[in-house]
Structures are given as C-alpha cells and as structure tokens.
Amino acid sequence: METAFDVAADRNAEIEVMSVVTVPQQTPLSEGRQFVSEERAVLDSALEFAENERPDVPVSETIRIGHEVAPAILNTVEQNDVDVVLMGWRGQGRRRDVALGSNVDQVVTQAGCDVLVQRIGDQPAVEDILVPTAGGPMRNSPLRWPEQ
C-alpha cells in the first residue's frame, strides 16, 4: 500500500485495491461468491491502512471472480480504464517458460497501461530496483528466455 500511495501521489490519482477469487474452469463463476469473505479480510486491512495513513488519497476496493487471475486483472484494467497496475510478486517459482510468474508475465505483456511489479515482503535496496523503459526489442513480443 505504501508503494501504491507513492505512485498515486506522483500522479494525483486514486487507488483501487483488487483481489481475485478463482474458481475451477468447470465451475460457474457464481460459485466463487462463497469464497469472497476470505478476500474481504485482506481488502479490509488495506482500506484500514489507507484510512489511517493517507486519508487524503481516495481508495476503493474490488473483488473479481474469475477462472484465471491474469484475465480477471486485464478485464478490470480495460473496463475501468486503469492507468497503472501495481502487482505484488512473491519471488517464487523458477519455471523456465516464465520470468516472474504466469499471472505477472501475462499482465505485464498484455495490459494496456503501465505495470509495476514489487516483490512482496522485501525492502529493496536501490540496486535491486528494475526500471523498465518504453520501446526496445521486447516491447510487443512475447517474453523469450535463453536456454540454460
């Protein structure tokens, strides 16, 4: 939330805290409503932090129910005309076919807005911060990783 406040303050923007409840492909999305209460605690914590720390920044919440996380985020970005997405990353998973994780990779490559990724739980040192720039050979192509 602290990073979200920094980004919002820099852009004079509001924050929408979002959580995605996933249900199996064969399950109707309406079945996901039974799991919304579990996500409510996370959102309530974020809203309480916002109210106590930065009451001057507008903060709202959204719980999306979907079969997959990344498409739910991308649909929200498109529907709400979002300018910036800040995603948390746990730093786990070392699959060869993804850089940060399947959901993060998909949002980074397909979102029609800026996407910021922050490692969850760590306080990064300056040398640990990656600052991507627009353009370059990877701009509109799928991620490619060398064989190891």
Could you report the per-residue pLDDT of 116-145, keeping only the tens digit for each? 888 776 565 555 555 555 544 444 444 444
Q: 62 and 88, same structural domain? A: no
pLDDT at 145: 42
At 3, list the tokens. 């990073």
Dihedral angle at the C-alpha atoms of 143, 83, 36, 69, nearest 10 degrees? -10
Which of 67, 87, 102 is where one domain is finished?
A: 67
pLDDT reported for residue 148: 37
pLDDT of amino acid 60 = 87
Residues of the chain with pLDDT under 50: 135-148
Statement to judge: residues 112 and 141 lie in one domain: yes
pLDDT of residue 136: 41
> Helices 69-79 and 102-110: crossing angle, nearest 10°?
30
At 138 the pLDDT is 44
Here the tokens at position 78 are 């498109």
Q: What residues are paired with 22 via a beta bridge? A: 66
Instruction: Tell which residue, 77, 71, 62, has the closest CA to residue 103.
Output: 71
Integer Cα distance of 134 and 108 in angstroms: 12
C-alpha distance across the termini of the chain, in Å: 36
* Residue ranges making up the domain that contains 74: 68-148
User: Domain boundary at 67, 86, 104, which?
Assistant: 67
* 60 & 96 share domain: no
Q: What are phi and psi of 91, to 5 degrees?
A: 80, 15
**Pair (89, 115) in one structural domain:** yes
Please tell me whether residues 33 and 101 are part of one structural domain.
no
